[in-house]
Amino acid sequence: MAHARSKKLFAEALKLIPGGVNSPVRAFRAVGGNPFFVSKAKGAHLWDVDGNQLIDYVCTWGPAILGHAHPKIISAVKSAAARGTSFGIPNPLEVTIARLIHERVPAVQKVRMTNSGTEACMSAIRLARGFTSRDKIIKFDGCYHGHADSLLVKAGSGALTFGNPDSAGVPADFAKYTVVLPFNDVDAVKAAFAANQNEIAAIIVEPVPGNAGLYLPRGGYLEFLRQITRKDGSLLIFDEVMTGFRLGPGGAQERFGIAPDLTCFGKIIGGGLPVGAFGGRAAIMDCLAPAGPVYQAGTLSGNPIAMAAGIAALEELNRHKGAAYAKLEASGAALETGLRQAAKSAGISVQLNRCGSMFCLYFTSHPVWNLADALKSDRARFKQFFHGMLAEGIYLAPSPFEAGFISTAHTAADIRKTIEAAQKVLRRM
């Protein structure tokens, strides 16, 4: 594939934008080489500025569950834009999307819109602290909840130590209120609560972590988190920015049968536009200003264009009574089976973790249940696989520690072509 125009654009971007990108993973640092620049997207496909066509399994990191440039979303955006791009005062679409979210996720009795998943998680943590009058939170190694200071924290040297800043510019005093534990480790959570009695405001967790690749909760693990938080008087926050409305009409909490106290959303509820939200029990949400003492605000929250896009996406997903999710599950299963067989035929050990339309291929012979397991995978092999697939016209996430996504626009032919490409690439490795 020719990439002359992308190379030229990236060289110019490096002079004008830090690292040449507006979000770090786009720089291809984990896989080497330079990123390509996209000129357009439609359905399950991307076209770069050099005219190359790619089957897309990044799906703009999750939001494009219906594929790119879905006609109903484009129509809704055009119609909303014609009426005005921003009002700074309530508009009817805010009420409509709040109702749609509540109908699909019953644990969310009230919801507040934001502009991103980062804002949603940051605000949910502040609300949990305000509601409980406690300061400390528990998060899990490998789970990413946006780049707010108290959440951009990595694990300490032991299960009971507080986290350390995971970025320059984050004061250590912020991180000391965050306890970071390994995912799927019941004993570590029990020990953390025992060491911090009546001090934990909340546990925040991706019910299916998708920011260190993808790994699933062990049987009973989410139920345990629900039980221990309820017993302690802490809140359970599900970060469903990725999984919300993707793993089913009611997200991961419907799939696993768990009702958290608060839920964070993003991605799909914006229909491809920058939107986030957080919601939960009315008694907790009513602590937010102007009803309560916990302050949270946003000039563009509830933006009419973003609300219109989100409404169109949610309504389209549920238009055929679950048919969209059945197709996503079938496509995911077909891709999983094909990739497993391709790796086996090539004599290469892999772990393919999948939940619905989210997946990750780890180059390791050991099961992956948490970040420590994920880090044992062969990154050099993933790099080779990534570039091999890209050359075959298949775009996977440019990191071994990011989830892949499937859309309803992916056809059986797309899945077959992807499997055939993987067979070629893996045989050459």
Instruction: Report the CATH number that the domain containing residue 227 is assigned in CATH.
Output: 3.40.640.10
Residues 302 and 391 reside in one and the same domain: no
Give yes or no for residue 161 having a pLDDT over 50: no
Domain end (from 317, 338, 355): 317
Which domain covers residue 386, as residue numbers? 4-69+322-428
Residue 216 is classified by DSSP as P
**Distances in Å between the alpha carbon of 275 and those of 19, 63, 145, 266?**
25, 10, 15, 6
Residues 328 and 409 reside in one and the same domain: yes
Sequence-distant (≥ 6) Cβ neighbours of residue 187 within 8 angstroms? none
Which residues are the active-site residues? 144, 239, 267
- As a whole number of angstroms, the distance between CA 238 and CA 222 comes to 10
Residues 149 and 275 reside in one and the same domain: yes
pTM attached to this predicted model: 0.95
Sequence-distant (≥ 6) Cβ neighbours of residue 344 within 8 angstroms? none
Tell me the average pLDDT across 291-313.
96
pLDDT in tens, 335-383: 999 999 999 999 999 999 999 999 999 999 999 999 999 999 999 999 9
Domain end (from 294, 317, 340): 317
Residues 11 and 88 reside in one and the same domain: no
Residues 131 and 243 reside in one and the same domain: yes
Sequence-distant (≥ 6) Cβ neighbours of residue 405 within 8 angstroms? 57, 58, 59, 61, 62, 64, 65, 246, 357, 358
**Distances in Å between the alpha carbon of 338 and those of 213, 244, 334?**
19, 26, 6
- As a whole number of angstroms, the distance between CA 142 and CA 144 comes to 6
Q: Which of 413, 425, 427 is nearest to 44 (CA)?
A: 413
- 10 Å CB burial of residue 348 (0-12, 13-18, 19+) is middle
Residues 201 and 136 reside in one and the same domain: yes
Residues 350 and 419 reside in one and the same domain: yes
Residues 420 and 307 reside in one and the same domain: no
- As a whole number of angstroms, the distance between CA 162 and CA 147 comes to 18
Domain end (from 317, 335, 363): 317
Residues 21 and 79 reside in one and the same domain: no
Say what the pLDDT of residue 294 is.
Answer: 96
Residues 97 and 235 reside in one and the same domain: yes
As for how many domains the chain has, the answer is 2
- As a whole number of angstroms, the distance between CA 140 and CA 156 comes to 11
- As a whole number of angstroms, the distance between CA 305 and CA 316 comes to 17
Residues 197 and 260 reside in one and the same domain: yes
Q: In percent, how much of the chain has pLDDT > 70?
A: 97
Give yes or no for residue 159 having a pLDDT over 50: no
pLDDT in tens, 7-26: 999 999 999 999 999 998 89
Beta pairing partners, 41: 46
Residues 285 and 142 reside in one and the same domain: yes
